[in-house]
Amino acid sequence: NCPGCACGSGRIEEEDHTMRIAIVTLPFHTNYGGVLQAYALRRVLMEMGHEASVLALRHGMPLPVWWKAPAVYARRVFVRLLRGAGAPEVFRELRYRRELPVVSSHVGRFVYEHISPEVINSYRDIREGQYDAFIVGSDQVWRPRYFGRIEDAFLGFTTGWEVLRVSYAASFGTSELEYSPAQLASCSALLGKFDAVSVREEDAVGICRDWFGCGNAVHVLDPVMLLGRDVYLDIVSRVPCSGAGGKLVSYILDDDFQKEHVVRFVANAGGMEVHDASVRPYDRRLPVSERVVPPLEHWLACIRDAAFVVTDSFHACVLCILFHKPFIAVGNRARGMARLKSLMEMCALEQRLVHGIDPGDDCRFFLDGPCWDDVDRRVLALRQVSLDFLCGALEK
């Protein structure tokens, strides 16, 4: 049975034994999708009858090690003198720690009310025997530029322990490998100790096999898709009006002219007003008070109420599929195309992934939306495969 499934099949039957499971994922920050996937995976595990905790580092952007700090800051000063304002900020970790509690205050409330993470200073704080199993995933948890010490994302801190090691829908974020030779060697050895491996993109199956020597990786759904739309509708039930009703909702992570053109073109073609649901927590041109990210429930309600959605966000596309909202996904190369491409292929929605709009297009194909019955059949079948993987992995 599917937990919270749109088909109404109910809860998963409880396992004969309860496992203590720790989920290793990306820091929450202000990322709606990152928060939602952690919520979904934890909920699924709990509906299986397990105890599940999401591990969260107290500071998502650690300061440089004290003995390295002088060299790190000196190098940044030098680079900034050479490149000017486009260079990395010298004391960005300090500013980040000062501003994050403000800009993420609403999202943080959802995290602590619905996820209740286990806050730790370091993965080295975890002790052997504290958990029976560790699950890595989902989101771009295996992308070095996002995780920090990437060996921790491969459970390097559990070396020598007798625990179950599983990845669920872990993502490299891109089809190009971003690991140094040393990182590749250490992470390949760590991945070889996993009891079960699953990834979120089809390309990642090949990366695991060809680069990490792991030939048994399985392609599964993002955790958000393991739950049906009724679960998310319940979350937003206290948001009766988002202001997006009947409008084209624009949710863009990285602004550029091409994406703005797509939004305007489709809005004009459909005679729709635009509701901009984008957030800009790191736009330093704005005062901090204007960068506070709205509650996650409000974001969900915007997609729930939209007549159409244009986005470059993976998880916004996921929710459009669950909520049956016609949408266009605009390619976002900076954040990785593999995840969008894989999602669209799984749901037979490849034509909704675009890089621009033909000026001669009347947009009827996009505005009419896909056959949702066909999409639902695909999602339900993939959901069962994904749940079977997760159940099987935890029985090893």
The yes-or-no verdict on residue 5 having pLDDT over 50 is no
The yes-or-no verdict on residue 141 having pLDDT over 70 is yes
The yes-or-no verdict on residue 312 having pLDDT over 90 is yes
What pLDDT was estimated at residue 206? 95
The H or E element containing residue 17 is none
Check: pTM over 0.85? Answer yes or no: yes
Torsion on CA atoms 348, 318, 4, 171, rounded to nearest 10? 100
What pLDDT was estimated at residue 12? 45
Low-confidence winner among 61-65, 79-83, 100-104 (lowest mean pLDDT): 61-65
Report the alpha-carbon distance of residue 186 to residue 11 in Å, rounded: 39
The yes-or-no verdict on residue 164 having pLDDT over 60 is yes
What pLDDT was estimated at residue 14? 44
The pair of structure tokens assigned to 304 is 């729930």
Rg, the chain, Cα only = 21
pLDDT-derived band at 9 (thresholds 50, 70, 90) equals: very low
Are the CB atoms for 160 and 192 separated by under 8 Å? Answer: no
Q: What is the average pLDDT across 379-391?
A: 97
